[in-house]
Amino acid sequence: MCGRYFLKRPPAALLDELQAAQPAPNFPPSWNIAPTQQAPVLRWNPQTGQRHLNLLRWGLVPHWAKDASGAARMMNARSDSIAEKPSFREAFQKRRCLVPMDGFYEWRGEGASRQPFAVALRDGSAMAVAGLWEGWRQPDGEWLRSFTVITVDSAGRQAAVHPRMPAILPPELWDAWLGAEPAEPEELLDLLGPCPDEELAFWPIGARVGKFSENDAGLLERVPAEVPAELNDEPVA
């Protein structure tokens, strides 16, 4: 699963890295993005022929939903069910997006002994995670636009932390996923898989990341912990 992530690079830098159209939405750095919060999402606009970065709410609300009460439970979508599950099926066909992250958090273990980890790309570049977005008309007539993060089976060291991980896509696959290039549903599903293990860095962090109210750069500091050596990389700046 992916229940918390961080995005600290400034909007202008993110626009440049994602090759998205100006202007950038105004969003502050966040070291603890949680479901139901607003976050930047990259979408393809066929009318402009460009990628656009917009703020959407994390936790997908299907267009046919009676209310938005279940949004937090829809923060993730399993890659093996998005083509058939009613909550995601239409969005998979028509409304795919990329969710930029500097990295994400995951917890290893059970109960009180769970150890949180930060995960980032070793080269410091932004992750572009496959997602789906949806529009839902609220009772007041305003539109709520929301998104979900697609997860896949973990591999390599990530599997030693948690069995699921976000579907991180390399730049050469972005256009196909966003819809800028034609692709059949089977081809799109084939794009989704675990990130190569050697591209990721893992390091243990403090427990306060589990609180929504905690949001500062100190969350990324490595802490002493009894963890396998292969899960104790240097933090990515």
Global pTM reads 0.96
Predicted local distance difference test score (pLDDT) of residue 76:
97
Residue 207 lies inside a defined structural domain of this protein: no
Domain count, the chain: 1
Residue 226 lies inside a defined structural domain of this protein: no
pLDDT tens for each residue of 72-112: 889 999 999 999 999 999 999 999 999 999 999 999 987 77
Residue 84 lies inside a defined structural domain of this protein: yes
pLDDT tens for each residue of 124-175: 999 999 999 999 999 888 999 999 999 999 999 999 999 999 999 999 999 9
Domain enclosing residue 160, as ranges: 5-108+126-199
Residue 186 lies inside a defined structural domain of this protein: yes
Predicted local distance difference test score (pLDDT) of residue 167:
98
Question: Percentage of residues in the chain with pLDDT exceeding 90?
Answer: 89
> Residue 192 sits in a domain of what CATH number?
3.90.1680.10
User: For residues 224 and 237, what is the distance between their CA atoms, to the nearest angstrom?
Assistant: 18
Pair 4, 162: CB distance under 8 Å: no
Residue 221 lies inside a defined structural domain of this protein: no
Q: Residue 67 above 90 pLDDT?
A: no
pLDDT tens for each residue of 106-127: 999 877 789 999 999 999 999 9
